[in-house]
Structure 1
């Protein structure tokens, strides 16, 4: 079963932390005005005009704008966009460009790249990624640096942003516009191998790479290459004014920032590799890289020097071979895994563009040269995957009628204006079919957008209707629930009333039955006394029976009241008469409460006695000498004087009671009646 392409489902809201912002600032990527634009609340990229989608993990691995021509060529030949490449793939390209320019002394070329790397699809048997859906891997047959890359970079897909799209004098350096819906199609160019001619031309470079790896005491590693381009503060994947072999140090025009601190550099190296805190980070390379202070050897040949290259001149070109060498343009538009076809017109246009570029492209001195102290016998490989091999260009230019130029034509071709016109024409021919396809895709996208808008409108109407139906359904459900609750409550009350009525009827029937039995018994007694039988005429509606029933009901209530009164009096009797036995009849109980003497006066006398005893105890506690015989002789005290003494002592009554330990009550004093 084919793997499902996630597409737009992979994108989500960007989550860039303050730590990421500080790192970009230290690397100098955000120092240029409006170089970076951060997303706001969107969960799918919508870059503003003039911006492209990128990732924080791509930028810290050497990516910057305008992009390097070699990277531009790779994206074109492989048919990819920047978001299709994983962070490890970006780092592979940065290391390769740094290796070529700083340690081999040549421009990065397509032939050497094909000998070392190939592309493969990233994903599982059931899921194929769109973000990071392509991985650049090292061939198992290539003897290349062990870079120690991490197995996976956690969360890099969530840290996306917008970078300002810039060119470097021509449209060739531009980043392809972002298209999140574009599917990844495997092409023949993904695993294209170098031809025999390309292998011969790059053999000296591969030998030099092996020497850099294995020279004892001067071994070069992938970590050293990473440390070098991070310390130099030049982004390898940026289109620069000068290559790295002309790097001038702190004053170089291509530097983005000042030198990183040692701790920041080591932290960054560990972040983009699989090195742990226990592993040491090299402070410099064991092999001195080429720069302005360590120039290339003088025997470096120029790219346009045909005589030194050992190849024939265009006028002496050999006939075309039976089978042409691998053409990256032709292979890039033919998919090996998909049924997508490309018209023949596109192939002709791109081939024509390649021929014109060979004629019109000015030779740059020192743009590509052989490795140090090595002799390359074959032709120099192309510097970019978008440039054809020299041999193919020379043999095909002979068959072009327009390329048979006279001496005056040669002078005309040297005119800078004519060169610019040829370059612009080549670009136009190369991008004409691309623009046509883009317009077709744009029309399809607009049609899809209109369809989606119509579907969205329909779904919005359906959603609103569903919400209204849901509100009505909830209201009906609430009403039904309330009605059900009311019915259940009524059912319970009805059941309770029925139960009570049944109990009442049963009790009434029991009482009536008891009355009938008593009447029957009374009837027998009546007959025995009067010799006459008492008979009920209508037992159901007899007045006597109803009166007896009424009397029975109220008689029961009266008996219950008498029992309760008797129980209450039984509890109160010991309180009033602690030394007497409770009488058996109510009449005797009533007599206890109606004696000949006044019970209230007796209680007050008892209270007075207690008060006098407490007073005597209080006086004794004060240790005062008092003549108690005179105190008890009331005949010697006048009644008015007695009252005045009690009145004078009354304000201190509460203090005296508190001292004794008795809480005073709110009842009026009983001393006055006794006085």
Structure 2
């Protein structure tokens, strides 16, 4: 199953960054007024008048307008447009032109190119690319430089722009007109090989390349060639006033900008090659290139061999010498040697071949998609009685337009453009026939100039008749094609309206997305505010917990200081706040138990100290009763002493003794020693009296003197 050709669907809106713009400015590509035009909103290239489609990655690899004749010839012979070539292919061409002009001292050589390079289709098994659909590759048999190109250039198809078309004085278009939907057809010229004559003429160039690669201490590499043309600030693929072997340095007229800074040069080299940041970038070439200061040796040969250009490919004198040979067919229908080769090192020396029809390298080299080859058929007209001529017409390719037959076989008419080459035309050729047995009068008649003119006019008439018939056919084909184009135009108009509708819908979706994005941004801000508030709250909570922990610890220390009891937790939680709270609970439990016991004791003592008062309801009021300014214990003892004195007086009165109480009350007259001896003598009787009144005193000795 053939791979699907993306065609115009492969294009999308250009995405050129500020970094790309700065790079083009540094390289001097955008300094020329109106040299570059950037796309606006279109998703399919629509170059303005006088502009062509190109890519940023093509320009930084040596492309500029007007393009070099060698590149122009390659595009014509291979039947390609600029967007068909990959960036690595563009770099291959730049390196080759720089190698030829600066290190070999010759113009870019078409025969040498065929010995080194060939074209192949680029794509996957399911998709055939249009942008970058053709890759220029090095032949496996070629002894050429290892250029170290990247395997893939990411995103280069999206960085397209318009470059100003400059004809450089040519009548033909310098760059093929853009057609983004044109399918790529493989041509026999893609795999054209050099003839024996070309191989012989380019042996010295191949030997020089081998010498440049393998001279010890002076090895030349592909990276050095890239560094050289980037440092020289001359675009190799631009049509220049002077070749590189006449390069004059900073004052050269073909320079686009001043020297690049070292960091910019190294960054650009790594961008277009596979070198990494660890690989060193050579600062100069080990081989001194040819220039104005290093001129070519005397009698240095310059082998001229250019691919056929649109204006000279139609010439019959060089058509057979410059036409590309057919590519090898996978089905081996015929050998390569059965067809003409595709050029010589000296096309001006090729002799015309009158027995062969003119060969158009652009149209007759098309191969079908499955690479099958077909032998061109010859339409032989009926032989007329007026002349010994055959009218031979080449096979007509679909979609071509025919031109009138030539009156002069040696004259050539250039095609209108590289993408519209010279159409097939009928021509007359004299073919040898069996000699007729004519009389002498007949011979004289045939030699008559008038008869010769009549024969020539007859031959032209046959050619014009053939041309008229083909013109009618072409006119019918043109009408069919016009109808097809009208249908396609109608379809395109419908597609345009649909695209506009889709664009409106997409714009509405974009506006909605912007609104959603604004809402998301507001939510993001609110979330950030909430996160900040939560963080502050957590910090405040942590500070509050730390303060509570400190207070709990302080209270625990105070409890320990007052009670002289320190407790340890049996199962700590390993949390400072919870552990401090647990200790506080233990201390509180201990304090509550002490308060209960104190309240019970004070309640029992209250009637003795305050016999005429009612016990307070709260423990604090009860405790305050026992903490007055006076000494409650002394007051009780005084009361007890009063009771004791009264009881003593009562006992004395009960004994019916006559006592002078005035003297007894005068205690100052009693000496202390006498008082003590009396108390001591009364103690045995005191116990009996106390037992009588129901009091059991403690063993504490009585005071020897009453308290005052």
TM-score when scaled to structure 1? 0.52
| Distance verdict in 2 for CA 1:263–1:451, change over 3 Å | same
Matched pairs, number: 675
1:251 & 1:623 partners in 2: Cα distance?
Answer: 159
CA offset digits 1:18-53 (Å, max 9, x no partner): 000000000000000000000000000000000000
| Distance verdict in 2 for CA 1:57–1:642, change over 3 Å | farther
Pick which of 584-593 and 65-74 moved more: 584-593
What residue number does 1:432 align with? 465
1:34 & 1:209 partners in 2: Cα distance?
Answer: 40
Computing the radius of gyration from Cα coordinates, the structure with the larger value is 2
- Tell me by how many angstroms 1:62 deviates: 0.2
| Distance verdict in 2 for CA 1:17–1:333, change over 3 Å | same
- Tell me by how many angstroms 1:394 deviates: 21
| Distance verdict in 2 for CA 1:286–1:433, change over 3 Å | farther
CA offset digits 1:128-181 (Å, max 9, x no partner): 100000000000000100000000000000000000000111135610000011
Gaps of 5+ in 1: none
1:596 & 1:463 partners in 2: Cα distance?
Answer: 110
Pick which of 95-104 and 560-569 moved more: 560-569
| Distance verdict in 2 for CA 1:218–1:568, change over 3 Å | same
What residue number does 1:196 align with? 196
Q: Is the 8 A contact 1:318 1:395 kept in 2?
A: no
Q: Is the 8 A contact 1:334 1:342 kept in 2?
A: no
What residue number does 2:373 align with? 340
Q: Is the 8 A contact 1:302 1:369 kept in 2?
A: no
CA offset digits 1:76-99 (Å, max 9, x no partner): 010000000000000000000000
| Distance verdict in 2 for CA 1:182–1:116, change over 3 Å | same
1:441 & 1:306 partners in 2: Cα distance?
Answer: 29
Larger helix proportion of the pair: 1
| Distance verdict in 2 for CA 1:18–1:654, change over 3 Å | farther
| Distance verdict in 2 for CA 1:451–1:547, change over 3 Å | same
CA offset digits 1:333-366 (Å, max 9, x no partner): 4557468999999999999999999999999999
2:523 & 2:284 partners in 1: Cα distance?
Answer: 92
- SS of the residue 1:52 aligns to: strand
2:531 & 2:590 partners in 1: Cα distance?
Answer: 24
What residue number does 2:280 align with? 280
- Tell me by how many angstroms 1:9 deviates: 1.3
Pick which of 554-563 and 57-66 moved more: 554-563
Pick which of 390-399 and 226-235 moved more: 390-399
Q: Is the 8 A contact 1:202 1:381 kept in 2?
A: no
Alignment of structure 1 residues 114-193 onto 2, 5 Å: 114-172=114-172, 174-193=174-193
| Distance verdict in 2 for CA 1:147–1:307, change over 3 Å | closer
| Distance verdict in 2 for CA 1:552–1:170, change over 3 Å | closer
CA offset digits 1:631-650 (Å, max 9, x no partner): 99999999999999999999
Q: Is the 8 A contact 1:107 1:367 kept in 2?
A: no
Pick which of 646-655 and 366-375 moved more: 646-655
CA offset digits 1:413-446 (Å, max 9, x no partner): 9999999999999999999999999999999999
What residue number does 2:692 align with? 659
- Tell me by how many angstroms 1:671 deviates: 63
Q: Is the 8 A contact 1:112 1:202 kept in 2?
A: yes
1:624 & 1:376 partners in 2: Cα distance?
Answer: 191
What residue number does 1:395 align with? 428
Q: Is the 8 A contact 2:172 2:417 kept in 1?
A: no
2:540 & 2:289 partners in 1: Cα distance?
Answer: 117
1:311 & 1:518 partners in 2: Cα distance?
Answer: 105
1:35 & 1:586 partners in 2: Cα distance?
Answer: 105
Q: Is the 8 A contact 1:95 1:222 kept in 2?
A: yes
TM-score when scaled to structure 2? 0.49
What residue number does 2:324 align with? none
Q: Is the 8 A contact 1:85 1:135 kept in 2?
A: yes
| Distance verdict in 2 for CA 1:269–1:396, change over 3 Å | farther
1:652 & 1:89 partners in 2: Cα distance?
Answer: 142
Gaps of 5+ in 2: 299-331
Pick which of 226-235 and 311-320 moved more: 311-320
What residue number does 2:645 align with? 612
What is the RMSD computed on CA atoms of the aligned residues?
24.6
Pick which of 620-629 and 299-308 moved more: 620-629
- Tell me by how many angstroms 1:540 deviates: 78
1:159 & 1:29 partners in 2: Cα distance?
Answer: 15
CA offset digits 1:168-208 (Å, max 9, x no partner): 11135610000011100001111111111111111110000
Pick which of 222-231 and 373-382 moved more: 373-382
Q: Is the 8 A contact 1:218 1:286 kept in 2?
A: yes
| Distance verdict in 2 for CA 1:480–1:582, change over 3 Å | farther
Q: Is the 8 A contact 1:204 1:375 kept in 2?
A: no
